[in-house]
């Protein structure tokens, strides 16, 4: 049996945090009254510690070399974590950008994608879409409406948000949808690019799923062949100037971005697309 650490043993941050998390999970099982009492006790101790740290910092502020000494002390991850928890240290620029990206990740994940921070060089922040977001036709919309707004909310001094190229590429790669270039596996070869003329849309089955492939110049998009209204097949709908109209109740969609013009709160389910050596490959997003 493991011997529990003595209070004088040096502990690392992960083991200390894991103790806290285990105790919090234990308390989750308690009756509400006990849980509230335990939470209130924890908050009272936090408030006491926060006040003590504030006074300590205030009284030491005038000491020579206080700033560099504090910076030095905060290089220790445990010291840093505790000072951050009590609001003594403010989040760094990187942490604020990461917080912003974290806030948008659930939305990106729902499209099978992710985003990573590439660089912060104020006023510019550069990010890269990953997974299904990389090259996805809806990514321009996703990017400007989601990621950019989130970053500017958390880091108002970032006035320029740039999108770095995806991680795709390699021999013969002609096109990769934004979120998709990160994905190495799960691709299915479909048509030769020459068999999908510019401006054309074609329905086909990929791994037993019906999809719509559309070509816009060098770019190819792929969406589920199901209307976002009631899930009916779209491929009997009229296609005109990059828009498809559902034959059932008339919802209209952009085949370039997947946006629904009839009900902007819904959109077509996108799938990853890439063109390698003139072959269109699709990666289904479940």
Provide the binding-site residues for ligand FES, judged by CB under 6 A: 227, 229-230, 232, 246, 248-251
DSSP 136-163: -TTHHHHIIIIIHHHHHHH-TT--EEEE
In whole angstroms, how close is the CB of 142 to ligand FES at the nearest point? Answer: 23
Shortest Å distance, C-beta 47 to ligand FES: 55
Query: Is the CB of 130 or the CB of 260 nearer to ligand FES?
Result: 260
Please identify, using beta-carbon distances, which residue of 167 and 232 lies nearer to ligand FES.
Answer: 232
67 or 250: CB nearest ligand FES: 250
**Closest distance of CB 163 from ligand FES, Å:** 32
Residue nearer to ligand FES on the CB measure, 199 or 250 = 250
Choice between 155 and 246, CB closer to ligand FES: 246
| Nearest distance from C-beta of residue 248 to ligand FES, angstroms | 4
The tokens describing 247, both together, are: 């034959």
CA distance 37 to 45: 12
The stretches of the chain forming alpha helices (DSSP H) are: 13-28, 32-60, 66-74, 77-85, 93-109, 139-142, 148-154
Cβ proximity to ligand FES: between 194 and 265 the closer is: 265
Spatial separation of the C-alpha atoms in residues 134 and 128, rounded to whole Å: 8
Q: How far is the CB of 133 from ligand FES (least distance, A)?
A: 25
DSSP 272: E
Q: Which strands make up the sheet holding 160-163, listed edge to edge?
A: 113-121, 124-131, 160-163
Q: At closest approach, how far in Å is the CB of 194 from ligand FES?
A: 31
| CB contact at 8 A, 244 and 237 | yes
143-148 contact pairs (CB < 8 A, 24+): 146/104, 146/107, 146/108, 147/100, 147/101, 147/104, 147/108, 147/115
Of the pair 192, 236, the CB lying nearest ligand FES is at: 236
Contact 188, 281 (CB under 8 A): yes
> What is the smallest separation between the CB atom of 216 and ligand FES, expressed in angstroms?
22
* Rounded-to-integer distance, Cα 40 and Cα 145, Å: 39
| Helical (H) or strand (E) element with 243 | strand 243-245
- Of the pair 84, 229, the CB lying nearest ligand FES is at 229
Helix (H, G, I), strand (E, B) or coil at 253: strand
For the CB of residue 263, give the shortest distance to ligand FES in the complex, in Å: 9
Cβ atoms of 276 and 184 closer than 8 Å: no
């Amino acid at each position: 049996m493991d011997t529990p650490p003595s209070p004088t043993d040096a502990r690392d941050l992960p083991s200390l945090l894991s103790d806290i998390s285990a105790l919090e999970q234990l308390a989750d099982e308690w009756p509400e009254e006990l849980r509230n009492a335990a939470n209130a006790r924890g908050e009272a101790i936090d408030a006491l510690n926060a006040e003590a740290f504030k006074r300590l910092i205030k009284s030491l502020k005038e000491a020579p070399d206080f700033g560099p000494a504090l910076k030095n002390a905060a290089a220790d991850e445990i010291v840093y974590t505790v000072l951050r928890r009590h609001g003594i240290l403010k989040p760094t620029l990187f942490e604020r950008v990461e917080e912003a990206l974290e806030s948008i990740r659930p939305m990106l994940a729902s499209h099978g994608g992710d985003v990573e921070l590439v660089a912060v060089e104020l006023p510019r922040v550069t990010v890269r879409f990953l997974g299904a977001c990389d090259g996805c036709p809806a990514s321009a919309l996703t990017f400007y409406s989601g990621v950019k707004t989130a970053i500017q909310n958390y880091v108002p001094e970032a006035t320029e948000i740039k999108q770095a190229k995806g991680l795709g590429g390699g021999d013969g790669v002609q096109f990769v949808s934004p979120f998709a270039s990160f994905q190495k596996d799960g691709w299915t070869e479909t048509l030769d690019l020459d068999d999908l003329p510019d401006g054309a849309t074609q329905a086909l089955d990929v791994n037993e799923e019906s999809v719509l492939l559309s070509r816009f110049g060098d770019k190819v998009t792929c969406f589920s062949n199901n209307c976002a209204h009631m899930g009916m097949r779209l491929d009997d709908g009229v296609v005109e100037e990059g828009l498809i109209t559902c034959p059932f109740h008339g919802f209209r969609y952009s085949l370039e971005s997947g946006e629904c013009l009839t009900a902007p709160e819904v959109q077509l389910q996108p799938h990853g697309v890439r063109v390698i050596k003139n072959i269109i490959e699709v990666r289904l997003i479940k």
